[in-house]
């Protein structure tokens, strides 16, 4: 059941499709040992200055992209963590898979993604090896909003 009110960040759940873009729900695995994440929305906005607006600009949002940066520790032996780390040296369509983000309120975002591993095993000599990755939307995601019963209503 989804939570309501304020909630800790650890209530977010991230899953990666371990069979590429054809992954089924059974093949979606959580990624162990994630510590932080950040979300970026890249919005394409067309602007124009029609004469009938007397100098005021008009705008229309014409494009969107979603990126999520995940930072954590490299956990050898965890299905999700191993699968993500395996993208470190892949290119082209081999760098594509499915990704799922479930927010604490129950909102679920499912999307095809490009997996961009930016750090694997890096850090100071006394650190636990890092796993840092960006998942970048590749097409329109499916966003499923929670129902009022999911929110306890």
Q: For 93-135, what is each residue's pLDDT tens digit?
A: 999 999 999 999 999 999 999 999 999 999 999 999 999 999 9
Burial of 63 (0-12, 13-18, 19+ CB in 10 A): exposed
Q: How far is 70 from 55, CA to CA, in rounded Å?
A: 43
How sure is the predictor about 149, in pLDDT bands with cuts at 50, 70 and 90?
A: low
Residue 1's Cβ-side half-sphere holds a number of Cα atoms within 13 Å equal to 8
The 10s digit of each residue's pLDDT in 6-60 is: 999 999 999 999 998 888 989 999 999 999 999 999 999 999 999 999 999 999 9
Residue 70 has pLDDT above 70, yes or no: yes
């Amino acid at each position: 059941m989804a939570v309501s009110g304020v909630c800790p960040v650890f209530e977010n759940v991230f899953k990666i499709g371990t069979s590429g873009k054809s992954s089924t729900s059974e093949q979606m695995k959580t990624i162990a040992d994630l510590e932080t994440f950040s979300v970026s929305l890249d919005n394409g906005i067309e602007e124009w200055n029609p004469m009938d607006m007397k100098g005021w600009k008009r705008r229309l949002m014409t494009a969107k992209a979603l990126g999520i940066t995940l930072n954590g520790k490299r956990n050898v032996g965890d299905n999700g963590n191993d699968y993500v780390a395996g993208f470190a040296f892949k290119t082209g369509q081999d760098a594509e898979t499915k990704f799922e983000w479930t927010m604490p309120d129950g909102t679920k975002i499912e999307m095809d993604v490009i997996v961009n591993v930016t750090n694997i095993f890096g850090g100071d000599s006394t650190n636990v090896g890092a796993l840092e990755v960006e998942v970048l939307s590749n097409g329109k995601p499916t966003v499923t909003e929670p129902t009022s019963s999911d929110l306890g209503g």
